[in-house]
Structure 1
């Protein structure tokens, strides 16, 4: 991943709440094109550690590529979270951070379809990004359900208020505060969101919150195909470290392995693809700097297109059925199903 990691400067540190900060980033001019991003995406940040050298954590962009200036990420402290606490306590304007290029598939492909956006806690970060992009560059209406412990813990409260005033006919925001209503319930969520018309749903927050919302949506007859989830989790691997992979052995054309043709970073390569190895493992074993972060199907960083042939995924937590039908797959989970496969990293 070394070729996809870059040093950026922190322009500003904005205190959003007592336990959340936004880092506004200055992207070097020479790599600005590598940081073109879509609403709902995230950055992976290298956080120094005295025990392991470094850890990697993913933080969603709260900024909108269609409305804002420099990109910005928001970090909320977690009680036992080393990385979030270190960033909140130590980073000041002028500091350098090492980050990977923007990644992720959470976000609408069209800004002209009405959306219901549901968030809890720091899950609001990509939700704000999507909200601003749809309002600034699209024609759709936006409804936001945002759950928090109390009023003091609401991140971006003032910014949402400003957006409601700026787009009174297109944006509706409803807050769910535990101090006033208790934890979100299926019945309560269904009562709220049942008042709104929407084409697609985007959820981000703790797993329990998203389960409640999805159950409420199911009760309302909303198809799972219309629901997109973003779930925060710690990374098993550190993508800033050199991947340890087994080097491929040279074999003859009669090896029996399927043939892989791959288009990546302006190059087109032909490789053998053993049926028991994922696409990502094959690429890394050949020294190809393929994009990835989690290697668990959750982040969507390694998404690519199957142009010819067929593949199957061992696990999929990022792509919806429509995207799979379009030919998208995850390199970290893909195995070949035909003797010839043509893959393009074009997303």
Structure 2
């Protein structure tokens, strides 16, 4: 089933307790998605009407959409989902988004996960093992044995695919916190692979540092991180969010170009070209005004759903809470925050 446009309202088929602090939410939907992508959920709130949060899919394409949510201290949405969500409830969601996905299921991968960061990694690993030919090596870090999400499933997958899956559990209660040197030594035999890392920020910093030490180019290092979304991407406050972006643009600096800009963006194999991009309008807004369904989730520069690669020209981002300096050096920009500063801009969402 192809993804639909705009917010969807999905019914909850099941809520599965994974650990004391984490549950998986199974939706009555089989929307198309890529392994490693996420859903943005509208969680009801008595104070604000809703809070929007992004949670990674642990299922594989063709199965019911399933996200796994770990309780966080003082985290309203994660606690509400773990405590109150029941089968039969309905939630609004945005269609699957994100770029934390392998280009090929036949490639050998090196995966790192910490805590609930295992969720997109499970989707990637299962997809490779069940639908591709690639081999998987995974290092999964947790506080203790009780914190391991999907422990039984990882054991079953390793038994089913002994020649293609190696799972190494790193428990802080046993081995202490991993160091960059230890992670580098673990990754060294697999330095020719694509690497994916998801987990707490300190863990991801150590892993990416270890991979850089081994000489893995940025093109083979992928990381996923989320921040709490402050606005409402489901429609209620979109006008206010867009107005704030315009105010920021005026307050920070005037665009470097004043005439309409020529823009070419490749999306899903099709190049969309226009000669009238208004320098005061973000790339996402411009594409939407032309009927192009460009990807997005938060519209606030707080997730990577709208990320594209700049091929020619330059843009100015109004806000960026997710891209690292290396991402920027690699030409990655956020479509929801990008204003043109050159007469021509070319890029790709692929």
TM value normalised by structure 2: 0.82
Partner of 1:317: 323
CA-to-partner distance for each residue in 1:284-318, whole Å, 9 max, x for gaps?
Answer: 678987542233555332245779x6443535728
For residue 88 of structure 1, give the secondary structure of its aligned residue in structure 2.
helix
Which of residues 164, 167, 192 in structure 1 aligns to 2:186? 192
Whole-Å Cα distance in 2 between the matches of residues 323 and 131 of structure 1?
Answer: 29
For residue 101 of structure 1, give the secondary structure of its aligned residue in structure 2.
strand
Confirm whether residue 44 of structure 1 aligns to residue 48 of structure 2.
Answer: no
Partner of 2:99: 105
* Long gaps (5+) in structure 2: 247-257
Partner of 2:261: 258
C-alpha displacement of 1:272: 3.1
Partner of 1:251: none
Partner of 1:56: 52
Whole-Å Cα distance in 2 between the matches of residues 331 and 9 of structure 1?
Answer: 31
Whole-Å Cα distance in 2 between the matches of residues 130 and 151 of structure 1?
Answer: 23
Partner of 2:167: 173
Partner of 1:299: 303
Confirm whether residue 218 of structure 1 aligns to residue 212 of structure 2.
Answer: yes
Whole-Å Cα distance in 2 between the matches of residues 176 and 263 of structure 1?
Answer: 41
For residue 298 of structure 2, give the secondary structure of its aligned residue in structure 1.
coil
Whole-Å Cα distance in 1 between the matches of residues 10 and 324 of structure 2?
Answer: 28
The answer to whether the Cα contact below 8 Å between 1:298 and 1:318 also exists between their aligned partners in 2 is: no
CA-to-partner distance for each residue in 1:257-300, whole Å, 9 max, x for gaps?
Answer: 22457799999795732334421244567898754223355533
Cα RMSD between the aligned structures?
Answer: 3.4
C-alpha displacement of 1:238: 1.6
Partner of 2:252: none
For residue 158 of structure 1, give the secondary structure of its aligned residue in structure 2.
helix
C-alpha displacement of 1:189: 1.6
CA-to-partner distance for each residue in 1:160-197, whole Å, 9 max, x for gaps?
Answer: 11110111001000000000011111122223223445
Residue pairs, 1:1-347, within 5 angstroms? 3-27=5-29, 35-65=31-61, 69-196=63-190, 198-240=192-234, 241-244=236-239, 245=242, 256-260=259-263, 272-282=276-286, 291-297=295-301, 299-303=303-307, 310-312=313-315, 314=317, 317=323, 330-339=334-343
For residue 137 of structure 2, give the secondary structure of its aligned residue in structure 1.
strand
For residue 96 of structure 2, give the secondary structure of its aligned residue in structure 1.
coil
Over 3 Å counting, the alpha-carbon distance change for 1:60 and 1:236 in structure 2 is: same
Whole-Å Cα distance in 1 between the matches of residues 177 and 187 of structure 2?
Answer: 16
Over 3 Å counting, the alpha-carbon distance change for 1:109 and 1:94 in structure 2 is: same
Whole-Å Cα distance in 2 between the matches of residues 37 and 238 of structure 1?
Answer: 22
Over 3 Å counting, the alpha-carbon distance change for 1:198 and 1:156 in structure 2 is: farther
Whole-Å Cα distance in 2 between the matches of residues 319 and 336 of structure 1?
Answer: 20
How many residues are paired up?
328
The answer to whether the Cα contact below 8 Å between 2:259 and 2:279 also exists between their aligned partners in 1 is: no
Partner of 2:251: none
